Amino acid sequence: MKEVTPHQMEELWEEDLLKRYPENGKPEKAKEEFRNYEDPQRETVKEFYRINHLNQTYDFVLGKEKEFLKFDKKEMTLWEAVEFLNTLVDDSDPDTDLDQTQHLLQTSEAIRADGHPDWFVLTGFLHDLGKVLCLFGEPQWCVVGDTFPVGCQHSDKIVYPEFFKENPDSKDPRFNTKYGVYEPNCGLDNVHMSWGHDEYIYQIMKDYLPEEGLAMLRYHSFYAQHRENAYAHLMNKDDHQLFKWVDKFNPYDLYSKAAVPPNVKELRPYYEDLASKFLPDTLKF
């Protein structure tokens, strides 16, 4: 895969999402509107998913959960974590002047402007914070990208499903059936998702946010379900109710890029006060 920075990979992935899932009632972006990092955007994303689909196995995910869910990498206040994430910005990228804080705020401010509850606003602000995984040495293919269950048959609704042919789990009888290691309608709380920033920030926030917000954090990149309905056979009634909130969140995640960047200095006191309602003084990553 052509070497790109984490920020560039994030931009390419988001642009690929917008091509796959254009906003309702609006045409897809013209081809010339998308960035070009010398290699065609599609080929870069395609190679990203080839590596992702090859390596995201059930045992790999269990290993990552064991490694990272000890939360012993770093302890920070929320704003320290946001500023830490800002170091992902690539100064050589000519297409963006936005740091990660502004990207987070674009989502949360769009949610706040529509009058949603304060926990919903905070969830929007937090949803990409798990990308600090890049700063702990994780490769991009297990930080961003569409997420999906592991431990069962890979759906053909997942982006580039043909790449799962080389995933060892696709040849393992424990994992390559419809339900794999799971039971019908067992509930997604009992399902292991592919490793990435969604699962990581969900696990960090598990004790602090309402279950609706936690579903948004964990499943906002689970397009095979909330756009393609590919895993309803693993979901229970509670999951179906929670996914109504994931569906409410999704437009803010994909379509809330503002022409004028948020004023971080002005907004910081509001978000620090908001965080104090729900979160401890420091968070363990």
SS (H, E, C) 15-67: HHHHHHCCCCCCCCCCHHHCCCECECHHHHHHHHHHHHHHHCCHHHHHHHHHH
Mean pLDDT of 112-135: 96
pLDDT interval class at 24 (50, 70, 90): low
Which range among 83-92, 112-121, 130-139, 247-256 shows the weakest confidence by mean pLDDT? Answer: 83-92
- pTM score, whole prediction: 0.88
Residue 231, SS3 per DSSP: coil
Residue-level pLDDT at 130: 95
Query: Which residue pairs from 33-36 have beta carbons closer than 8 angstroms and sit at least 24 positions apart in sequence?
Result: 35/8, 35/11, 35/95
Residues whose CB is less than 8 angstroms from the CB of residue 203 and which lie 6 or more positions away in sequence, other chains included: 68, 69
Mean pLDDT of 252-275: 86
Cα 207–211–213 angle (5° rounding)? 95
Convert the pLDDT of each residue in 90-108 to its tens digit: 443 334 456 778 888 999 9
Residue-level pLDDT at 29: 47
